[in-house]
Amino acid sequence: MPIAQSLAKPLKSQPVELSFSPADNQRLANLCGVLDENLRQIETVLDVTIARRGEHFALRGSSARTSLAAEALQRFYAQAQHHLGIEEIQLGLIEVMNPHSRKHGLIEGRAKETGELALLTRRSDLRGRTPRQVEYLHQIQTHDITFSIGPAGTGKTYLAVASAVDALERDIVARIVLVRPAVEAGERLGFLPGDMAQKVDPYLRPLYDALYDLMGFDKTSKQFERSAIEIAPLAFMRGRTLNQSFVILDEAQNTTPEQMKMFLTRIGFGSKAVITGDITQIDLAKHQKSGLVEGKQVLEKVRGIAFTYFGAEDVVRHPLVQRIVNAYEKYERQGQQT
């Protein structure tokens, strides 16, 4: 196993120098990427400067940042038997930046502790990237109803869809039902052109995107044709009972308390439900209370219902998204203080 040797102790005012020995030109090429695009990604995300000469790297920036960059370079060099794409670099940087995941391999340890199964999807690398995501997947597996609340990019919807696909592939459920409130249309879907699927397509597009990524376009289309995957506008859920189904209610912050109660009471035998939402992005009228906010207050202590609360540290999108979320939170706090 190639090792990285630190040639200088990290000092705030001096660069950290890193050397990989024995040198492997193919590994170095895979690590750096085409035209050093992987190094530029590390620089941007970690706010450092990386200068390279052969197998020697000089890292400049704050001591905390250069330490993370050194850790990232060692991690990626160990993985560089194959080409490392931008997505792989970005996902790796998310784990490096998460202090909880970096301590003693906490993510892998927590996954083994909870008995997390590999999800049967087209994405062989799919797993929880933060401790809270690992816990979320475990809660979905062990609870019939799971709430996930947090900012955009934390994997609330994507991991719920992945769990639904896994349950369908294992024949745990007979169908997947995707539900989303159409707030912008005031739930008056009859005024939109087309059939029911076309009317709600704009609101369910994020769920479709996740399905295509996890199952492939052709297989997803076939599952729609045989009604193994169904779209169900929230306005059309009243009066139904869903048995042997994996039901996902997305954007639940835009439900009313009445709609939330109606949805939760649709759950039948052998079914699972995941409710996702971000209570900081409620699009309801100002006087209207959110069903997700009320549901959290009413159901948080009910046995058998799980709640997962995500934060900015759980954002698993482009690494800059986490910094954007943090910047907005800081700006809003400053606005409240003035």
- Are 254 and 173 part of one and the same domain? yes
Q: What is the total residue count of the chain?
A: 338
**Which pLDDT belongs to residue 194?**
62
- Are 191 and 49 part of one and the same domain? no
Which of the listed ranges 245-249, 278-282, 315-319 does the model predict with the highest average pLDDT? 245-249
Instruction: Give 246's strand partners.
Output: 176, 272
**Which pLDDT belongs to residue 102?**
47
pLDDT band at 234 (very low <50, low <70, confident <90, very high): confident
Residue 38's nearest CA partner among 102, 98, 82, 6 is 82
Residue 124 has pLDDT above 90, yes or no: no
- Are 68 and 163 part of one and the same domain? no
pLDDT band at 197 (very low <50, low <70, confident <90, very high): low
Which of the listed ranges 93-107, 111-125, 167-181, 189-203 does the model predict with the highest average pLDDT? 167-181
**Which pLDDT belongs to residue 212?**
93
Spatial distance between the Cα atoms of 41 and 233, rounded to a whole number of angstroms: 40
Which of the listed ranges 93-102, 160-169, 180-189, 314-323 does the model predict with the highest average pLDDT? 160-169
Long-range contacts, stretch 32-35, CB < 8 angstroms, 24+ apart: 33/84, 33/86, 33/89
- Are 245 and 142 part of one and the same domain? yes
CATH, residue 57: 3.30.1370.10
The secondary structure of 148-217 as a DSSP string is: EE--TTSSHHHHHHHHHHHHHHTTSSSEEEEE---GGGTT-GGGSSSSHHHHHHHHHHHHHHHHHHHH-H
- Are 44 and 136 part of one and the same domain? no
Flag whether 118 is in a domain: no
- Are 37 and 89 part of one and the same domain? yes
- Are 41 and 146 part of one and the same domain? no
Helices H / strands E in the chain, number of each: 13, 10
* Mean pLDDT, residues 104-129 taken together: 63
- For the stretch 200-229, pLDDT in tens is 666 678 888 899 999 999 999 999 999 999
* Mean pLDDT, residues 266-293 taken together: 92
Domain encompassing residue 93? 3-97
**Which pLDDT belongs to residue 193?**
58
Which of the listed ranges 92-96, 113-117, 282-286 does the model predict with the highest average pLDDT? 282-286
- Are 54 and 163 part of one and the same domain? no
CATH, residue 313: 3.40.50.300
Residue 290's nearest CA partner among 262, 261, 252 is 252
**Which pLDDT belongs to residue 9?**
47
Tell me how many degrees the CA angle 123-129-131 measures, rounded to the nearest 5.
Answer: 140
C-alpha distances (whole Å) from 78 to each of 34, 189, 309, 331 are: 18, 53, 33, 39
In the predicted model, what is the mean pLDDT of the chain? Answer: 83
Flag whether 226 is in a domain: yes
**Which pLDDT belongs to residue 94?**
78
Number of domains in the chain: 2
Better-scored residue on pLDDT, 42 or 13: 42
Spatial distance between the Cα atoms of 207 and 179, rounded to a whole number of angstroms: 9
Flag whether 108 is in a domain: no
- For the stretch 306-319, pLDDT in tens is 999 998 778 777 77
pLDDT band at 100 (very low <50, low <70, confident <90, very high): low
- For the stretch 323-336, pLDDT in tens is 787 788 889 888 87
- Are 165 and 277 part of one and the same domain? yes
* Mean pLDDT, residues 70-77 taken together: 92
* Mean pLDDT, residues 167-188 taken together: 79
Which of the 8 DSSP states describes residue 124? T
Flag whether 110 is in a domain: no
